[in-house]
């Protein structure tokens, strides 16, 4: 996993896997470290590393989510995310490793040879602090 390099580029790219990922709420526990994958940098996936704080309702999907703390988040240090957005960093669990490998397979070749940070633009944060995937934004909400 890369740290954030200085330069970045925005590259609208479909997320091939996250919207259909099947992961339960109880797959995660408070205290674990997770990453929300956001793009590619220097030939590796990159994302925001966060700590799982507590169960929290994820309003954009009307499903159980997790409150997360982003140590580098500034004014938005806390966000609520759906479990399928999260990948374990604190333990090498098979489910998350498979997802990570599949994301690498789908994305790294596409951005081969690009060194800058590429934000694929999959996530936004609502005014109420909910992290929402572009596939979960439904009309009129």
The footprint of Zn ion (CB under 5 A) covers: 88, 93, 95-96
For residue 53, give the 3-state DSSP assignment. strand
For residue 110, what are the CA distances in angstroms to 45, 63, 107? 12, 32, 5
- CB of 20 vs Zn ion, minimal distance in Å: 16
The DSSP bridge partners found for residue 9 are 118
- CB of 44 vs Zn ion, minimal distance in Å: 19
Give 67 or 119: the residue with its C-beta nearer to Zn ion: 67
Give 38 or 118: the residue with its C-beta nearer to Zn ion: 38
Q: Does residue 15 contact residue 125 with C-beta atoms inside 8 Å?
A: no
Q: Is 124 left (phi over 0), alpha (psi -120 to 50) or beta?
A: beta
- CB of 6 vs Zn ion, minimal distance in Å: 31
Give 100 or 117: the residue with its C-beta nearer to Zn ion: 100
Give 7 or 26: the residue with its C-beta nearer to Zn ion: 26
- CB of 91 vs Zn ion, minimal distance in Å: 7
Closest CA to 34 of 93, 89, 72, 112: 89
């Amino acid at each position: 996993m890369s740290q954030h390099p200085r330069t970045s580029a925005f590259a609208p790219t479909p997320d091939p896997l996250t919207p259909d990922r099947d992961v339960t709420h109880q797959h995660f526990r408070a205290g674990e470290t997770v990453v929300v994958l956001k793009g590619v940098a220097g030939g590796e996936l990159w994302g925001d590393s966060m700590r799982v704080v507590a169960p929290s309702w994820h309003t954009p999907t009307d499903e159980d989510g997790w409150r997360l703390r982003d140590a580098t988040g500034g004014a938005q240090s806390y966000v609520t995310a759906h479990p399928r957005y999260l990948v374990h960093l604190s333990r090498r669990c098979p489910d998350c490793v498979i997802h990570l490998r599949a994301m690498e397979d789908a994305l790294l070749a596409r951005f081969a040879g690009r060194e800058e940070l590429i934000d694929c633009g999959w996530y936004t944060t609502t005014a109420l602090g909910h992290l929402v995937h572009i596939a979960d934004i439904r009309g009129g909400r």
